[in-house]
Chain A
Amino acid sequence: MHRLQPLCSSLPLQGYNTGVNNVAREINILLAGVGGQGVILMSELLGKAAIVDGLRVRGSEVLGMAVRGGSVTSIIRLGDDVHGPLIPQGKCHILLALEPSEALRHVSYLSSAGLAILNTTPIVPFTVSLGQSSYPRLEQILEKLNSVASKVITLDAAQIAQEAGSLLAANIVMLGALFGLELLPLKRATMKEAIEARFAPKAALVNIRAFDLGYQVCRRAVA
């Protein structure tokens, strides 16, 4: 847990895991992945939960040409000092990446006290099959991330999602992992209510399981 202290001290985040009434000034979360992985859904759920817990939310995303298997980025910024829809370079506190190379794409946004949570399952674009580009090794990606982030947490969200009951729930596994940091000024219960409200009862069960598994894996990683 001590490795998370730099983030806590730079963010006045102490105590946020227990209470949500503190005034959060600025927390910047960048969600990265590939079209179809459910990045936008994650930010919708996070934003909904945040306002229930009384936080101001700002963010943005790029759709359109980017969704057809292209890179998708969504931004969620919490707190009263936030005005703009974009995270300034060097100010991303948590990089939540559903795909390893997409984490690398945003490495320059990480703050020096920032954290990265990384799903290790790659989605290799067809340009690699066509021989037009190559896919980096995981170690190369981790090396770059570690050169900036205070901590990088890796998990196989695809496998955990399958354990929970559906490969499609990898995004919710990652959301669970985000809460496993215990750094957000948000109640876990609020987040789970938002997830439950979003899905039909059967899918909600799977997704709550996915959230809990992601949460536990991250707790173990930071312990």
Chain B
Amino acid sequence: MRELTISSDAPGQRLFVLGNEAIARGAIEAGVQVAAAYPGTPSSEILATLAGVAKELGMYVEWSTNEKVAFEVALGASICGVRAMASMKHVGVNVAHDPLMTASHIGAKGGLVLVSADDPWAWSSQNEQDSRYVALQGNIPVLEPSSVQEAKDMMADAFRLSEEFGQLFMLRSVTRIGHGRGDIVLGDISRERRKGSFEKNPDRLAYVPRVARINKPLMLERFERIKKAVNTLAYNQLHMADNARLGIIACGLSYSYTLEAVKWLGLEDKVSVLKVGTPHPLPEELIISLLKSVEEILIVEELDPFVELHVKAIVGEHNIGVRVHGKDVVPRIGELSTRKVSEAIASLTGCKLPVDFVGLDRLEQEGAPLLPLRPPALCPGCSHRASFRAITAAAQRVAREYGEDAEPIYPGDIGCYTLALNPPQHAVDTCICMGGGFGLANGMAHIVEAPIIAHLGDSTFFHSGIPPLINAVYNKANITMIVLDNSATAMTGFQPHPGTGQTATGDEAIAVKAEDVARACGVKFVEVVDSFDLKAATETIEKAIRFQGPALVVCRGPCATIELREKRQAGEKIVPFHIDHDKCDPKCNACIKLLGCPAIIRQGDKTVIDAPLCTGCSLCAQVCPYKAIIQA
């Protein structure tokens, strides 16, 4: 079998890829020279893919400390005249929001593209916000693909458009694009490598009030030109059916569901369909043609009624006699599907649904009570499980002294360790945003009488944990801060970060240590513990909680998944633990109740260790009151 890869110079050939790889390929074809990102599902594979071919293709690719920095890296490179991009998940765009709003005033010298990966249904996110509103606020034009192929094409085109109009562009992906799969036809790879240079131009680049006033009208002019151009852009397409009563405007991925639904319902010749690939600005001329040709309009888009509001405005402005439907029949929450679009169309046309969905729902409901709960869990051997055992044991010990009902408070954060929300850890009381745990703890400390133990991971610490840490020192917040350091951005795919001593492209770097940062910031209690030394870790964390003033403990232990992979590669033997049933009290189950390790299971009336899952971490042996768990 011929082996094509993402960097193959093989125009016309087909490759089966993940959507995020397709986006990376688009950037490669456009000759992107600088790419920066912070990992976040469903966007991470874009930069990971580029990092893998950076040296071969002569690009600069980095994992930045956070999304704001990533966007600034791309903006800096664009200002110097080269094609640059930043990719992030939708909530990452919030972090980058500040430079983004002014970047659109600057315009783009080298093509500049922001990829926002939205997450309808919040599969891996704290919310399902619609980043098209960010684009609206910033006057940033948006391309929204309907398929994996189009994601690649649009990404490549976005750089060209960005330079043609001198404006920053956004590619809005969603989970089912980025984590969609499909075959793509490869295009030509641009080998152009520009020598960037910085030209001083404070009237365009140094935003004092006067400069903002100079550039805002220029930005609006650029946007007006783009608004005209999108009417003839191939990503927007109007398919008119003769004498159609209903017209459908389908945005981005919704277009693929719409195509299937229209066919499923047998309405191919009966409805007109406008495919929208630029939700902002909308192709107004095409929309007006469609609006004038039908009696009713259905707008199909995921999440918020973004296109809908704009179409309603067009209807009002041009006084067109057409009834506009959207979120009255299409769900505003979660992902769309061919079924949901079919139901929406059926509700307006009265046509019969092709499948008995009610019957299928009943079947699903009948099956649901039989299903075991299968939430994601910390992996066997995860160092966070050990850290949380120490944290909760220490915190409960101290909390008792605050009163009988006193409970420790655990402001948590975003990463694998968010899973400690679940039993048996129950050690995440809040999870709002990256770095938010330390921030919230600052506020609570001045209000409540209870031990406050905020925790976050190593990558999150560098992302946005440092300002609230300094705040705690400055404003004397009596909190305990724990850095759960497993030397990886594990949840998103084990990407390196400033603490790992390795860059995105595998080069060595200075490993920044959380404890050094904390000491330098004036934290007076700073300790580092081995997560798997349960006794010592618990004692140290207890001291930290009792310390008056902000205290920080780094719980250090490797990511089990990475460690196992490395051990297997090195041919090192993994020696699992097992339970000595002569010593074990089968009614005790302390190991299960305290740890919830997937490798410890009940088999009949016995508790056993599932040897293939056990990593030999020893944590269960340390909590067993009967010393019944031993290494084989």
Once the chains bind, are B363 and A125 in contact (CB under 8 Å)? no
Once the chains bind, are B372 and A52 in contact (CB under 8 Å)? no
Stretch with Cβ within 8 A of A (4 or more), from B66-74, B258-266, B399-407, B475-483: B258-266
Minimum CB–CB distance from B478 to chain A (whole Å) comes to: 33
**Contacts A83-B256, A130-B423 hold; do A89 and B601 have CB atoms under 8 A apart?**
no
Question: Is the CB of B378 closer than 8 A to any CB of chain A?
Answer: yes
Once the chains bind, are A61 and B179 in contact (CB under 8 Å)? yes
Complex Cα–Cα for A44 and B342 (A) = 29
Question: Is the CB of B183 closer than 8 A to any CB of chain A?
Answer: yes
* Residues of chain B with a CB closer than 8 A to A56's CB: 182-183
* Residues of chain A with a CB closer than 8 A to B360's CB: 89-90, 108
Once the chains bind, are A132 and B423 in contact (CB under 8 Å)? yes
* Residues of chain B with a CB closer than 8 A to A101's CB: 370-372, 374
Cβ-neighbour of A194 out of B1, B15, B592 (below 8 A) = B1
Question: Is the CB of B41 closer than 8 A to any CB of chain A?
Answer: yes
**Contacts A124-B601, A125-B598 hold; do A141 and B370 have CB atoms under 8 A apart?**
yes
* Residues of chain B with a CB closer than 8 A to A51's CB: 14-16, 183
Cβ-neighbour of A65 out of B19, B124, B180, B255 (below 8 A) = B124
**Contacts A50-B16, A52-B1, A85-B256 hold; do A65 and B376 have CB atoms under 8 A apart?**
yes
Query: Which of A63, A84, A91, A141 is the most central at the interface, judged by chain B CB atoms within 10 Å of its CB?
Result: A84
* Residues of chain B with a CB closer than 8 A to A59's CB: 180-182
**Contacts A63-B179, A84-B256 hold; do A68 and B367 have CB atoms under 8 A apart?**
no
Question: Is the CB of A14 closer than 8 A to any CB of chain B?
Answer: no
Question: Is the CB of A105 closer than 8 A to any CB of chain B?
Answer: yes
**Contacts A144-B363, A197-B3 hold; do A68 and B376 have CB atoms under 8 A apart?**
yes
Minimum CB–CB distance from A157 to chain B (whole Å) comes to: 15
Question: Is the CB of B419 closer than 8 A to any CB of chain A?
Answer: yes
Question: Is the CB of B310 closer than 8 A to any CB of chain A?
Answer: no
* Residues of chain A with a CB closer than 8 A to B147's CB: 58, 83
Once the chains bind, are B372 and A61 in contact (CB under 8 Å)? no
Question: Is the CB of A9 closer than 8 A to any CB of chain B?
Answer: no
Question: Is the CB of A216 closer than 8 A to any CB of chain B?
Answer: no
Cβ-neighbour of B374 out of A34, A89, A141, A193 (below 8 A) = A34
Once the chains bind, are B372 and A69 in contact (CB under 8 Å)? no
Question: Is the CB of B605 closer than 8 A to any CB of chain A?
Answer: no
Complex Cα–Cα for A128 and B372 (A) = 7
Once the chains bind, are B377 and A126 in contact (CB under 8 Å)? yes
Once the chains bind, are A104 and B179 in contact (CB under 8 Å)? no
**Contacts A51-B14, A58-B180, A70-B374 hold; do A129 and B592 have CB atoms under 8 A apart?**
yes
Complex Cα–Cα for A132 and B14 (A) = 48
Question: Is the CB of A66 closer than 8 A to any CB of chain B?
Answer: yes
Complex Cα–Cα for A63 and B117 (A) = 14
Binary per-residue interface labels of chain A (17-60) against chain B in the complex, 1 for a CB within 8 Å, 0 otherwise: 00000000000000000110000000110011011100011111
* Residues of chain A with a CB closer than 8 A to B15's CB: 51
Question: Is the CB of B176 closer than 8 A to any CB of chain A?
Answer: yes
Complex Cα–Cα for A69 and B602 (A) = 17
Binary per-residue interface labels of chain B (79-105) against chain A in the complex, 1 for a CB within 8 Å, 0 otherwise: 000000000000000000000000000
Question: Is the CB of A134 closer than 8 A to any CB of chain B?
Answer: yes
Once the chains bind, are B376 and A70 in contact (CB under 8 Å)? yes
* Residues of chain B with a CB closer than 8 A to A90's CB: 354-357, 360
In the complex, which range does the number of interface residues on chain A fall in?
Answer: 35 or more
Complex Cα–Cα for A79 and B215 (A) = 50
Binary per-residue interface labels of chain B (457-468) against chain A in the complex, 1 for a CB within 8 Å, 0 otherwise: 000000000000
Question: Is the CB of A199 closer than 8 A to any CB of chain B?
Answer: no
* Residues of chain B with a CB closer than 8 A to A190's CB: 1
Q: In residues 309-357 of chain B, which contact A (Cβ within 8 Å)?
A: 335, 337-339, 342, 354-357
Question: Is the CB of A107 closer than 8 A to any CB of chain B?
Answer: yes
Question: Is the CB of B600 closer than 8 A to any CB of chain A?
Answer: yes
Complex Cα–Cα for A61 and B146 (A) = 16
Complex Cα–Cα for A148 and B362 (A) = 12
Once the chains bind, are B176 and A57 in contact (CB under 8 Å)? no
* Residues of chain B with a CB closer than 8 A to A107's CB: 363-364, 367
Once the chains bind, are A88 and B598 in contact (CB under 8 Å)? no
**Contacts A57-B181, A69-B598, A194-B1 hold; do A86 and B364 have CB atoms under 8 A apart?**
no
Residue of A nearest to B3 (CB): A197
Complex Cα–Cα for A70 and B371 (A) = 13
Complex Cα–Cα for A166 and B453 (A) = 44
Once the chains bind, are B337 and A88 in contact (CB under 8 Å)? yes
**Contacts A61-B181, A126-B597 hold; do A105 and B367 have CB atoms under 8 A apart?**
yes
Residue of A nearest to B2 (CB): A52
Complex Cα–Cα for A69 and B377 (A) = 6
Cβ-neighbour of B260 out of A68, A88, A105, A128 (below 8 A) = A88
Q: In residues 68-107 of chain A, which contact B (Cβ within 8 Å)?
A: 68-71, 76, 81-86, 88-91, 101, 104-105, 107
Complex Cα–Cα for A108 and B356 (A) = 11
Binary per-residue interface labels of chain A (122-153) against chain B in the complex, 1 for a CB within 8 Å, 0 otherwise: 00111111101111100011001001100000
Question: Is the CB of B375 closer than 8 A to any CB of chain A?
Answer: yes
**Contacts A62-B123, A64-B491, A130-B423 hold; do A69 and B376 have CB atoms under 8 A apart?**
yes
Once the chains bind, are B123 and A86 in contact (CB under 8 Å)? no
Complex Cα–Cα for A5 and B123 (A) = 38
Q: In residues 372-402 of chain B, which contact A (Cβ within 8 Å)?
A: 372-379
Once the chains bind, are A64 and B370 in contact (CB under 8 Å)? no
Once the chains bind, are B375 and A104 in contact (CB under 8 Å)? no
Complex Cα–Cα for A64 and B606 (A) = 33
- List 8 other contacts, CB 8 Å, given A58-B180, A147-B363: A57-B16, A58-B182, A83-B146, A83-B147, A85-B181, A86-B337, A136-B371, A167-B612
| Minimum-distance CB pairs A-B, first 9 | A64-B124, A90-B355, A64-B41, A70-B376, A68-B376, A83-B256, A108-B364, A88-B338, A85-B180
* Chain A contact residues, CB within 8 Å of chain B: 34-35, 43-44, 47-48, 50-52, 56-71, 76, 81-86, 88-91, 101, 104-105, 107-108, 124-130, 132-136, 140-141, 144, 147-148, 167, 190, 193-194, 197
- Mind listing 9 A-B residue pairs with CB under 8 Å? A56-B182, A62-B179, A88-B264, A88-B338, A101-B372, A108-B360, A126-B597, A126-B600, A141-B370
